[in-house]
């Protein structure tokens, strides 16, 4: 597979949110604001690239039988390091992400890429796959976060933009409704493109 194809695969064809629908818990929880969505997207991307890199590097060292615990150790290390640095240098974002930052450890997107891609592919393709999947995730949570913050809270990055927001959009129910509409739209666009 060409590198550009791997990248496109992560962002569009196999978008973790809109197509695979995995890692939903944190997606529904953090997308109440654009700032949180962006921070979460970047944190997930950083962990994905890091863990894909290390796991691809160690794929000949890690025995098959214990690959899952080994993956979890690698992922947990990256997440904890990022958490420490965020706490030290990006305190407000660290506080607003709360529990969902350490929970990236159990985010199945990252484990899935480690298992399905990095463990069987070379170093460079694995990094590209991490970037692609991470970008796909970031774009998806940003779209969700923007719609929910603008129409649900009436603000964009904390600045008032509309005066009568639809309150339910920032509630958990609103997350499901917006996500459902976006998944449907994404399917229509993909189907149109394939038909052409």
Partner 1 sequence: MNKTLKLGITLLIISSVAAGILGFSNKATSGKIAEIELKNTQDALAGIFGEFETYEETDAAELEKLRSTDENLVAVYKIIDGGETAGYSVTTTSNGFGGAIEIMVGINSDGEVLGARVLKHSETAGIGSKAADPTFTDLFTGQSASEELQVETISGATITSTAVIKGVNNARLVYQEVAAN
Binding site for partner 1 (CB under 8 A): 32-33, 58, 61-63, 65-66, 69-70, 73-74, 76-77, 80-81, 84-85, 87-89, 91, 95, 98, 149, 152-155, 165, 167, 170-171
CB of 39 to partner 1, least distance (A): 14
User: Contact at 8 Å (CB) between 114 and 51?
Assistant: yes
In 3D, which of 122, 23, 124, 33 has the Cα closest to residue 75?
Answer: 23
CB of 132 to partner 1, least distance (A): 26
CB of 101 to partner 1, least distance (A): 12
What is the token pair recorded at 37? 């969505």
Comparing CB distances to partner 1, the nearer of 92 and 180 is 92
Comparing CB distances to partner 1, the nearer of 89 and 196 is 89
Comparing CB distances to partner 1, the nearer of 3 and 57 is 57
CB of 117 to partner 1, least distance (A): 19
CB of 45 to partner 1, least distance (A): 19
Comparing CB distances to partner 1, the nearer of 9 and 107 is 107
Comparing CB distances to partner 1, the nearer of 8 and 67 is 67
What is the token pair recorded at 168? 């339910």
Tell me the torsion sign for CA atoms 21, 27, 32, 33: negative
């Amino acid at each position: 597979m060409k590198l550009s194809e791997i990248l496109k695969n992560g962002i569009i064809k196999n978008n973790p949110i809109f197509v695979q629908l995995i890692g939903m818990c944190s997606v529904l929880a953090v997308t109440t604001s654009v700032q949180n969505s962006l921070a979460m997207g970047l944190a997930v991307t950083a962990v994905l690239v890091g863990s894909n890199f290390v796991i691809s590097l160690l794929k000949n060292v890690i025995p098959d039988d214990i690959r899952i615990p080994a993956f979890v150790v690698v992922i947990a290390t990256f997440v904890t390091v990022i958490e420490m640095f965020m706490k030290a240098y990006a305190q407000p974002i660290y506080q607003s992400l709360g529990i969902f930052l350490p929970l990236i450890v159990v985010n199945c997107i990252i484990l899935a890429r480690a298992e399905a891609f990095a463990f069987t592919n070379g170093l460079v393709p694995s990094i590209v796959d991490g970037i692609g999947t991470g970008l796909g995730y970031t774009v998806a949570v940003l779209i969700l976060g923007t719609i929910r913050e603008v129409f649900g809270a009436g603000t964009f990055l904390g600045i008032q933009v509309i005066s009568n927001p639809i309150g339910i959009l920032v509630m958990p129910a609103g997350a499901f409704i917006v996500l459902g509409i976006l998944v449907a739209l994404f399917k229509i666009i993909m189907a149109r493109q394939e038909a052409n």
